[in-house]
Chain A
Amino acid sequence: MLTLEKRPTPSRFWTAATPVVAVLLTMVAGGIMFMLLGKNPFEVIRTIFWDPLFGEFAWYLRAQLLVKAGPLILIAVGLSLGFRAGIWNIGAEGQYIMGAVIGAAVGLAAFPTENRLIYPVMVLAGAFGGWFWAMIPAILKTRFNTNEILVSLMLVYVAQTILAMASTGFLRNPEGSGFPGSRNFSNYKAASNPELIAGTGMHWGVVAAFVTVIAAYVLLQRHLLGFQIKLSGQAPRAARFHGVNPTKLTVLCMGISGALAGLAGLFEVTGPAGQISIDFNVGYGFTAIIVAFLGRLNPIGILLAGLIMALTYIGGEMASTNLGLPSAAIQAFQGMLLFFLLAVDVLSNYRLRLFTAGAGPAKTKTGGAS
């Protein structure tokens, strides 16, 4: 009989090995899925994981890697702080949209003034937009004990409606001959977020993501607040005994993750996306949840996970255009990654034991005897 036995101390080896094993298992299971779809699994896996880095179009796709990974990492690091504290902000997608809309609105309000201060103000407005959107579930939770998972998720759809209103209504380009979508920020120098080094994909959002990773790492390792976040997630009663105020912590964690998601939205709308449009959001806020867990809620891990996830995005797109795979298959592939990660994760806290029949059940209840 196979049983799970709790380890006295979490295994360091499995904590580090879990993501690698999960990626490998995803390749195997995904390969089987692709095979059932009638494709050559090796070709698909190669297209997803190898071609973007070393294939024919790598010169262009490598830059895309940072463009995609930047917002994922920025959002995921913020989410991971809340997840560590047991606060489940699932609505980063909505906070991302609101950051983009409010930040863009501030920039467009100043059009066509050219001033070096405009972009920093837009960045603050973007962060504020995400923070504000995250405060709604945070305050509803702390005041009325609502479930932040549901509320933050529902607010994504509200944000999408606001995005549609913005691109067809209050932020529509007056010179766009009636087409939906705002002015393009690439034509408005004071408010644009250009590539900093040509051909690398590096823009301010990617810089912000790297800075955030370092800041979060220091926060969690060395700062009192990081300790309180970890403590609240692991042992809520011990956290109250330590003196953590659960209300303050909820507001703080939701606020940080919302502000970072808002920043990601602002950098995206002024940079790679260029304008507010109905289909501006592409699910970074949801994918970041997978990235956060794939990175084991650890900032450095999230950095690597964000890059891997971006790779599957870019490679997945290539696979669907070049090999004719349905995009749902790619999404299922990405979902498998989270699935296997959570499944393999059990091994860091439990070990598998093979019991010979009969020896198992008798052992279970003697613990409390002495």
Chain B
Amino acid sequence: MEGLTKAYPGVVANSDVSFTLKAGEVHALLGENGAGKSTMVKMIYGLVKPDSGRMIWKGAPYAPAEPRAARASGVAMVFQHFSLFEALNVAENVALGMENPPPMGELAARIKAVSEEYGLPLDPSRMVGDLSAGERQRVEIIRCLLQDPKLLIMDEPTSVLTPQEVEILFKTLRQLSAEGTAILYISHKLEEIRTLCDEATILRRGKVVGTCTPRERTAREMAEMMVGAVLTPPERAPRKDWGDTAPALSVKGLSVASPIPFGTALKAVGFDVARGEVLGIAGVAGNGQDELLLALSGEIRSEPGMVTAAGVPVGTLGPAARRRIGFVMAPEDRLGHAAAPDMSLVENAFLTGAIRKGLTRRGFIDWAATRDFAEAVIRDYDVRTPSSGAAARSLSGGNLQKFVIGRELSQAPEVIVINQPTWGVDAAAAASIRQAILDRAAAGAAVVVISQDLDELLEVSDSFAVLNEGRLTVPRPVKGLTIDEIGLMMGGAHGMEVAHHG
């Protein structure tokens, strides 16, 4: 294999990205969420067509029209989300992914042979529904290996694996690379990349910001490249002293189990947020962000004193009771959690606005007032929709996000908790959402923003902390925070411990 180069000027997702991949090399594609990693590999796999630029595969131009063409050239991909049928067994699932599947008996034998050869034990006759996430991933990998790929793309493969499974996976990948298969490995877990990968290309906002040899760099150095050097927060009006004795929101020793499969339990999370303060919580997805939002919204109950608002313990209160005392929340998952997909925007406005906007009279819903509220949100936050009667699922992700954020911020909140405020929203709308959050803080709300976008957090936050495997670092003021310190806070468990004690 000669090398693979490509360039795509002009696109938002990827602009002018080039890199080279040699046979037998494990190459890392590194970047934060939204940096353009997924779009990049989708182009290689033929799911998305580049607007411009070219790819060269084994010395010849390469432009797959669809995944089938990519597979025919020897490119295979294991997706982050599996596409398996739970009610079918392993062999049947593998057969479904093949162009010309051999007879079942023969296929089962080949699956067994390949799985033993690569140290991925797997019984072809087992039902996929009974398999663990790690075993399901093996099905996907073996499905790829049966095609004898020359390039294997792995998108965030370790996000659902246990440490032992990660170890097995890495052994397999090393064996593959020793046999000459090139591996493109997408991740934001720096330590993994250091142990596994030969070369790394670092993406940031769709651009290549650097390349390095991971083994020769520290995790912190790579984190700096990933984040970029522009880390000065914009000037903001000085915060008013509200003269409170107790913080508006205080969390102490918050430990709760996760209700989500493969979720992360929160371990002794603690922080204080005063009125007018914005606390930014960074960290890679799946480190307890969802659980923290659920614990703050009241969907997970905790000991009473673990969460207090203005000195009053609220840990045992549910979402409705917390809204009554001034909480508003915006979960990350808009469709299905923050909003009901099949309900109209009016009904979705009622979903959280019922209490603080006084939309019920003795249990009966005031639909006229609810409609007014929904239409005010649509107007004030520039939500593009034909009418307030449209179903939530008919809106684009960004528009629904504007609606959800607008709905929460329009309720005169005392405490605001938002997970991923600008996920999937265009730049202009993102700026206006951030401004709206800052305005609410200036009006005296205590704000917690959970996000994976570091630039965003540093722009809006007064203090900054990192969530890592369910633990939160000690929040530190953003002003005067150096990139070294952020790198230390973010740089995996080791660096975090330092920050934790310090």
Are A224 and B39 touching (Cβ within 8 A)?
no
Are B352 and A242 touching (Cβ within 8 A)?
yes
Are A234 and B42 touching (Cβ within 8 A)?
no
Q: Does B313 contact A (CB under 8 A)?
A: no
Among B42, B48, B351, the residue within 8 A (CB) of A242 is: B351
Are B352 and A224 touching (Cβ within 8 A)?
no
Are B391 and A235 touching (Cβ within 8 A)?
no
Distance in angstroms from B76 CB to nearest chain A CB is 15
Are A9 and B390 touching (Cβ within 8 A)?
yes
Compute how far the CA of A356 lies from the CA of B329 in the bound complex, rounded to whole angstroms. Answer: 46
Among B47, B365, B394, the residue within 8 A (CB) of A222 is: B365
Among A8, A225, A243, A368, the residue within 8 A (CB) of B363 is: A225
Are A231 and B340 touching (Cβ within 8 A)?
yes
Compute how far the CA of A132 lies from the CA of B48 in the bound complex, rounded to whole angstroms. Answer: 59
Q: Does A116 contact B (CB under 8 A)?
A: no
Q: Does B217 contact A (CB under 8 A)?
A: no
| A 241-283 binary contact with B (CB < 8 Å = 1; else 0) | 1110100000000000000000000000000000000000000
| A 6-38 binary contact with B (CB < 8 Å = 1; else 0) | 001110000000000000000000000000000
Compute how far the CA of A230 lies from the CA of B347 in the bound complex, rounded to whole angstroms. Answer: 11
Q: Which A residue sits closest to B359, measured CB to CB?
A: A224
Q: Does A42 contact B (CB under 8 A)?
A: no
Among A225, A230, A361, A369, the residue within 8 A (CB) of B47 is: A369
Distance in angstroms from B290 CB to nearest chain A CB is 11
Are A227 and B347 touching (Cβ within 8 A)?
yes
A223 with B364, Cβ < 8 A, contacts A240-B319, A241-B329 known: yes
Compute how far the CA of A8 lies from the CA of B351 in the bound complex, rounded to whole angstroms. Answer: 20
Distance in angstroms from A180 CB to nearest chain B CB is 47
CB-CB under 8 A from A143, the residues of chain B are: none
Q: Does A197 contact B (CB under 8 A)?
A: no
Q: Does B403 contact A (CB under 8 A)?
A: no
Are B391 and A243 touching (Cβ within 8 A)?
no
Q: Which B residue sits closest to A235, measured CB to CB?
A: B340
Are B360 and A224 touching (Cβ within 8 A)?
yes
Count of interface residues, chain B, beta-carbon cutoff 8 Å: 41
Which bracket fits the contact residues of A? 20 to 34
Compute how far the CA of A369 lies from the CA of B351 in the bound complex, rounded to whole angstroms. Answer: 30
Q: Does B285 contact A (CB under 8 A)?
A: no
A223 with B363, Cβ < 8 A, contacts A235-B336, A240-B319, A241-B337 known: yes
Among A10, A237, A370, the residue within 8 A (CB) of B391 is: A10
Are B337 and A238 touching (Cβ within 8 A)?
yes
CB-CB under 8 A from B363, the residues of chain A are: 223-225
Distance in angstroms from A111 CB to nearest chain B CB is 41
Are B337 and A237 touching (Cβ within 8 A)?
yes
Are B365 and A227 touching (Cβ within 8 A)?
yes
| B 13-48 binary contact with A (CB < 8 Å = 1; else 0) | 100000000000000000000000011001000011
CB-CB under 8 A from B495, the residues of chain A are: none
Compute how far the CA of A245 lies from the CA of B301 in the bound complex, rounded to whole angstroms. Answer: 12
Compute how far the CA of A238 lies from the CA of B347 in the bound complex, rounded to whole angstroms. Answer: 12
Distance in angstroms from A43 CB to nearest chain B CB is 44
Distance in angstroms from B40 CB to nearest chain A CB is 11
16 contacts across the A-B interface (CB closer than 8 A): A224-B354, A224-B365, A231-B351, A235-B340, A235-B341, A235-B342, A240-B299, A241-B299, A241-B352, A242-B319, A242-B352, A243-B318, A245-B318, A365-B47, A369-B13, A369-B42
Top 5 closest pairs, chain A to chain B, by CB: A243-B320, A8-B394, A235-B340, A243-B319, A238-B340
